[in-house]
Structure formats: structure tokens, C-alpha cells
Structure 1
Amino acid sequence: MTELAREFGFKITVIGDGGVGKTSLIQKFTNETFTKDYIKTIGAQFSVYDKEIEGDKVKLLFWDIAGQDDFNFLRPAFFKDSRAAIVVCSLEYNKLGEDSFKHIQNWVKDIFSYCGVIPVVICANKVDLVDEKKIDTTKCAELVKENNFLGYFITSAKTGQGVVEAFNSIIENLYLKYKDLKV
């Protein structure tokens, strides 16, 4: 017996400090493109991506939220109705890299305060700019375990490393969570 294909729509909010590569990760996943030049996100922007899972149509709205403090007042409106979050930090050996990892908990606390506890994936981005052999994933693994996040992924928006895996993990989690609910 063949069932009719169902349609699902999920809003996934991508958050993290300014300059960590949120926009670039979304572009890499949705369009398979990478732009070298940094263009600051003003407020928020969103991208639509369609995927088929088990014959069902899944429409994904990726909301790219500006990471600069200037836009804090807008976040509650942008976080509304998010079903999941991708939190991005930078692996760079500089202040951005250090601070963006330290701020992961703040980002998660912020979105949970508006959306409740939703699935979270961490993308430790810009692996192409560091020596991958020197990356210590212990802190990231502890953070994931302590907070029951879905996982963490070492990513590069430039090379594509880990991007598809990171995004698909959260998409598949949402699909499995909602596919059997009667709508």
C-alpha cells in the first residue's frame, strides 16, 4: 500500500558570534557556493532548502541571525517558531575563535528562553584555517554531552568539510521527531 507524500516545514535558526561563518555554512549547504569576502548580516536573512526524505517533502527555512550585539533586541522575533538550532563557533587561533566557543552556552540559553528546549548541533567552523591535527575536541564533546545536544561537527564552509553531515543530522532528527505526528 502506497501512502501519499506528506509535506513538512521546519525553521532552523543558525546562531553564533559575528564572523564565525554562519552565512557561509548556509550558502555551502543550500547552494554549494562559498564567498570569500565577509559581508556582515544585518538583522537576519533566510534561505529555503527543499529535501525529500522517505518520499516526504521537507521544506527547510534556515534563519541566519546576525551575531553582533547591536541586533540583540531583534532576536526574540527572529527566534520565534524555531524547531532547531545550529550554533556556530570558529576554530581560528585568535580572540574570535576563543570567544565564539565560550559564547555557545549564551546562544543556546538565549534561544531556549524563546523556543523551549530544541535540538542543537554545534558547528566548529573554519577548519581550513587551522592545523586539524592540533584540534582538541574534548571541550566540544563535553559541552555536547552535558547539554544533550545532538552533536558537534568540525566544518569548513570553504571546502565543504562536515557541512552536509552537520545539516543533515539536524534535518533527519526533526523529520524523525515529527513524521509520525498526526497533523
Structure 2
Amino acid sequence: MHSLLHCKYLPFRLIKINSAPNSISESFLRVRNQPYFRTDFVTIMSNSEEEFSNDFIFKLCVIGSGAAGKTSLIKRFTQGSFNKDYIKTLGAQFSRYETIVNRPNGEKVRARLFLWDIAGQDQFKFMRPTFYNGAKACIVVYDLTREETMHAINDWVDDFQNYCGELPMVVFANKSDLIDEEKYDDSAIKEIVKKRKFLGMYMTSAKTGKHVHDAFNAIIDILVEQALDKG
């Protein structure tokens, strides 16, 4: 028996960005307005007899300043756990995750995700082009308690797009458990989201798990829709 996590996909909390590239924007709007349900799990039996209308593999880069919580977010999403002790990522590491997306038309699509957790320290900058290679989308993480990590987003986007071009991107504003969300001034990050053509942002907490699955599932659905559009 395999342990499966059944969950209803929650509505988007992304900010609509009209300036996003057309192909990305169209996929975003289509996904945003449809009810998605899914079965999430970390591993699938290789001899599974279940049939899927499509089976996709996506590489997703998770980038941002050091100690912003990238590794913790991935661990929370893929393993449902949190390690309070900070362990610096050396270079990069990746995790594998699989999900079945049940589309409104009844199709079942399997998405196999390779999450590349890329170190935020400058000493590993020369290695990043290799790690970016083959990416289909990007998540930029910043620390809500350190304003400088938000301002660093522009540098991260420049670096990523220099090698990958314009791909779907979202922002995770992490460590929401350490701030008062109602009092947080989000005007600066909204301006960055608009200027850099992010599809939107989520306020997440790797520690509590708040919005973590919503945020990762949002970008997965965008990737699935784009892949289906390309045939």
C-alpha cells in the first residue's frame, strides 16, 4: 500500500499581470478560472496500470537569496516536514515529485517534477547556468523578515532570464509566520511582480505549511496547460 494525500485544489491567490507574455498569460487565465482537483504523492509504483492522457516531465528552478527558505519550502511540499536547523545548500540539489492533475474535461495528466534547489550564496554563482539548463519555470523566494532579499529579486530574474529567456515565474514571500500579514506593506513586492512580469506571488510559510501546496500547484498547472497547448 502506498500512502496517498488527497486534497482539493484551492483557488488561486495570484495577482493577474496583463503584461505577461501572451502564451503564459493565456494559460494562466485558463487555469485560474477552472476548478482543479488532484492526488499528490511523492512516489508512484513503476508498474502502475492507471492510464493518463498525457505524461509530462518538468524541471522547475527554485532560486533566491541564501537562507530565504528554498530548501525548507521544497521539503515541506515534497515530504510534509520542516527542519528548524538551517543547512546551507552547496551548489544545488534536486527533489522529485509527482502529481496527477484531473482536468475539468475528465482527462488525467501525470506531471513529474524535478525541483532544482539552487544555492543563493554568491560563491556558487558561476555554477548557476548549468543548473538553469532545461528549466521550464522558475520560483523566486524571498524572506519576509529581510527586505534586502526582496530587492535582490531583480538580480535573480536578470540572471535566470539571461540563460533561459522568458518563462513562467512566481514569487514566494516566505516566513509569513514571522510577520503580521495584515500589517505587511506589500506595495513594493507588487511593483516588482508587475515590472518583472511574474504571474503573481504567494505568502508562504515553510514552517507551518501555509499556502505552500497552493503555490507549488499553481505553477504546476500553468506548466501542464502550456505543455498541452504545444501538443
TM over 0.5: yes
The aligned counterpart of 1:115 is 164
The aligned counterpart of 1:89 is 142
In the TM superposition, residue 4 of structure 1 has moved relative to its aligned partner by 5.0
The aligned counterpart of 1:78 is 131
| C-alpha separation in 2, matches of 1:181 and 1:117 | 16
TM-score normalized with structure 1 length = 0.93
In the TM superposition, residue 142 of structure 1 has moved relative to its aligned partner by 1.7
1:78 maps to amino acid: F
Q: Secondary structure of the residue that 2:81 maps to in structure 1?
A: coil
Off by >6 Å, runs of 4+ in structure 1: none
The aligned counterpart of 1:177 is 226
| C-alpha separation in 2, matches of 1:4 and 1:143 | 38
Where in structure 2 are there 5+ consecutive unaligned residues?
1-50, 103-107
TM-score normalized with structure 2 length = 0.74
The aligned counterpart of 2:147 is 98
2:200 maps to amino acid: G
The aligned counterpart of 1:137 is 186
1:136-175 map, 5 Å: 136-175=185-224
Residues 19 and 38 in structure 1, CA contact (< 8 A), matched pair in contact too: yes
Residues 52 and 110 in structure 2, CA contact (< 8 A), matched pair in contact too: no
1:153 maps to amino acid: Y
Where in structure 1 are there 5+ consecutive unaligned residues?
none
Cα deviation 1:41-96 (Å, max 9, x = unaligned): 0000000000111311110000000000010010000010111000000011xxxx
| C-alpha separation in 2, matches of 1:151 and 1:167 | 12
Residues 10 and 82 in structure 1, CA contact (< 8 A), matched pair in contact too: yes
The aligned counterpart of 1:47 is 95
Q: Secondary structure of the residue that 2:141 maps to in structure 1?
A: strand
Matched positions, count:
176
